[in-house]
């Protein structure tokens, strides 16, 4: 049985990823602070297991407790393959770098980067110890490669996600394992994160008019479309290229 651990399943891209894994017969362990009943119903409809773990990814001790709980649950199951999708993320703080408070930077890096690294490291180890096929993906952003005025935290955390991905992939290549570690840039999607971006002021975020126009001109992709691309990439296991930063625009 294949299991996918997905973070940020309460809404947006993560909710779609969890649903589409289930439709492919993959059992899902979802992590977020809030829970949606949609996923339990979807699991029943698709005859797969869904378990939700409430966890604040800003809190390292909560992450460690969740990792232990998920591993205990995996130990009870007949697992043949393990996928991890680090999808949860935040855009804030959005402002000129000199105006950003220290606590907000720490919180941002913890959610967007540290939590992803902790989860990847833990489940890569678990899969290695149990000799399971492992594919680990982290959701990145075009902002990883392009400086954006007002997004110093976000551009930095996503750039670090890409380099972390390439480094862990290199380690796996060097040791000739079959594990694959990738990142995925999902493009612009119609989610709460975009709503939050549009609520910035021009002083905080210089490109605000461009992002408002994305919504007005219906240019934001649906999360189901984007999630479908990522789930297809991951479940086509033998074609996954270790260390690759995939981009949705190459597929849609
Ligand atoms: P979203 O609609 O704001 O959803 C974010 C998800 O992350 C929620 O399920 C939320 O769950 C979870 N999350 C946030 N903070 C958390 C915390 N402290 N602990 C646990 N979970 C937390 O965002 P989205 O647009 O779907 O974004 C998904 C991913 O795509 C992110 O990595 C984002 O950077 C990336 N991305 C998005 C866009 C876009 O246009 N939307 C573009 C490029 C990249 P809870 O609130 O329930 O905890």
84 bridge partner residues: 5, 136
Domains of the chain by start residue, with CATH:
2-187+223-250 (3.40.50.720)
Long-range Cβ contact pairs of 170-176 (< 8 A, separation 24 or more): 170/243, 172/242, 173/242, 173/243
Going by pLDDT thresholds of 50, 70 and 90, the confidence category of residue 71 is very high
Average pLDDT of span 205-227? 98
223-235 and 12-23 helices, crossing angle to 10°: 50
User: What are residue 245's DSSP bridge partners?
Assistant: 183
Q: Which residues pair with 185 in a beta bridge?
A: 247
Q: Which of 194, 200, 162 is nearest to 181 (CA)?
A: 162
If one residue of 37, 110, 193, 194 were mutated to test the ligand 1 pocket, choosing by the most ligand atoms within 8 A of its CB, it would be: 193
- Percent above pLDDT 90 for the chain: 100
pLDDT category of residue 117 using cuts at 50, 70 and 90: very high
pLDDT at 161: 98
CA distances in angstroms from 137 to 53, 68, 76, 125, 184, listed in the order given? 19, 20, 24, 15, 7
pTM: 0.98
Q: Confirm or reject: Cβ of 33 under 6 Å from ligand 1.
A: yes
pLDDT for the residue 194: 98
Ligand 1 center to 119 CA (angstroms): 16
Q: Are 205 and 149 in contact (CB under 8 A)?
A: yes
């Amino acid at each position: 049985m294949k299991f996918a651990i997905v973070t940020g399943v309460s809404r947006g891209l993560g909710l779609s990823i969890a649903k589409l894994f289930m439709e492919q017969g993959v059992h899902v362990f979802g992590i977020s602070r809030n829970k949606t009943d949609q996923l339990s119903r979807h699991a029943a409809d698709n005859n797969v297991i869904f378990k939700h773990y409430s966890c604040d990814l800003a809190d390292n001790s909560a992450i460690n407790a969740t990792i232990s709980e998920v591993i205990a649950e995996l130990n009870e199951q007949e697992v043949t393959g393990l996928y991890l999708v680090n999808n949860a993320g935040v855009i804030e703080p959005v402002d000129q770098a000199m105006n950003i408070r220290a606590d907000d930077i720490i919180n941002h890096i913890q959610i967007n980067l540290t939590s992803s690294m902790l989860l990847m490291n833990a489940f890569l180890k678990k899969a290695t110890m149990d000799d399971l096929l492992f594919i680990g993906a982290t959701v990145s952003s075009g902002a990883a490669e392009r400086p954006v005025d007002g997004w110093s935290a976000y551009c930095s955390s996503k750039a670090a996600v890409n380099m972390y991905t390439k480094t862990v992939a290199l380690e796996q290549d060097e040791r000739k394992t079959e594990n694959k570690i990738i990142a995925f840039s999902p493009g612009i999607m119609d989610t709460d994160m975009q709503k939050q971006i549009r609520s910035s002021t021009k002083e905080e975020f210089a490109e605000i008019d461009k992002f408002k126009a994305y919504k007005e001109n219906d240019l934001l992709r649906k999360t189901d479309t984007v999630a479908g691309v990522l789930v297809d990439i991951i479940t086509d296991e033998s074609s996954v290229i270790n260390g690759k930063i995939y981009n949705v625009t190459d597929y849609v």
